[in-house]
Structure 1
Amino acid sequence: MADSKRTSEPINFVHQDEICVCVCVCRKAHVKVEKDSAEVWPKKWGFLNEVYKEYERESVKLKKAVRVELPHHLVPQPANPPEKYIPVAPSPPVPQTTQALIGWRSGQSHLQLEKFGTVHYGRRSFLKELDWPLDACS
């Protein structure tokens, strides 16, 4: 398409047709090689099918023969429903506006995520723990 916009250089349609023909011929040759390979493969490598089937039979026999019982502490336990150990209170009614949606559940005291009070991490002073004066570090 870019060639048709250029008017200063002549277009060689024969050359472009040769490129298209070459691509088609290469694709046909590739498909022919694939088809021929598929026909030759069973004669050349077909013994692998029998070996693989024999391996599968042997592995099934071994799996049946070697059944290892897991220790009682590694046996998976049946799943408990979360409602059994996590109390879920009913939600308050859904707000009418999208602005009121933000934090509508956390505004209720009985639905707070922090069950054990507010977090106070990082509010201690290292200097006070060592009984140093606050001017000790500058």
Structure 2
Amino acid sequence: MADSQRTSEPINAVHQDEIWKSHVKVEKDLAEVWPNKWGFLTEAYKEYERESVKMKEVVKVDLPHHLAERPPTHPEKLIHVGASPPVPQTTQALIGWRSGHPHLQLEKYATVHHGRRSFLKELGWPLDACN
């Protein structure tokens, strides 16, 4: 990365080309030698695949009913979407128009009370202790 930012020194294209040629030659030579040196790995992998297929065919375990896969349930049976109230006529009334109806509110179970406690009150300190 530092070489790409240095522009004061001239780039020797012939030297760069020779470096590239040597890299390509090394890769080509290693590709020819690889099957003799590491070819046994391909046979071991093929043998592993054959054994795993045999094991999958042999081992068929019936799961108990509570662990068995259930058929998929259609979302229409689980999610019930009621009719929306009519869209307001003005853009000002459009803000929060669905949240005004109790059956469409996001907080279905309880009101959110986050942020109403004071750390200082919990510790029993006066409120102006951290000014």
Q: TM-score range by the shorter chain?
A: 0.5 to 0.7
Aligned-residue offset at 1:116? 4.7
CA distance in 2, matches of 1:121, 1:48: 60
**Compared with structure 1, are the counterparts of its residues 65 and 32 closer, same or farther at alpha carbon in structure 2 (3 Å cutoff)?**
same
What are the Cα deviations for residues 13-37 of structure 1, in whole angstroms up to 9, with x where unaligned? xx835x3322221111111111111
CA distance in 2, matches of 1:57, 1:97: 69
Aligned to 1:126: none
Aligned to 2:41: 48
Comparing both chains, which one has the higher relative contact order based on Cα–Cα distances under 8 Å and sequence gaps of 6 or more?
1
Aligned-residue offset at 1:61? 0.4
CA distance in 2, matches of 1:120, 1:16: 68
1:28-67 alignment runs, 5 A limit: 28-67=21-60
- In structure 1, give the amino acid aligned to 2:24: V
What are the Cα deviations for residues 29-75 of structure 1, in whole angstroms up to 9, with x where unaligned? 11111111111111222122112111110111011111122211111
**Compared with structure 1, are the counterparts of its residues 53 and 104 closer, same or farther at alpha carbon in structure 2 (3 Å cutoff)?**
same
Aligned to 1:113: 106
Aligned to 2:10: 16
CA distance in 1, matches of 2:115, 2:30: 70
Quote the RMSD (CA, aligned, Å).
3.4
Aligned-residue offset at 1:2? 5.6
**Identity over aligned pairs, percent:** 64
Q: Could you tell me the TM-score, scaled by structure 2's length?
A: 0.64
How many equivalent residue pairs? 113
What are the Cα deviations for residues 109-137 of structure 1, in whole angstroms up to 9, with x where unaligned? 331233456467999xxxxxxxxxxxxx7
**Compared with structure 1, are the counterparts of its residues 106 and 81 closer, same or farther at alpha carbon in structure 2 (3 Å cutoff)?**
farther
User: Gaps spanning 5+ residues in structure 2: where?
Assistant: 1-5, 117-123, 126-131
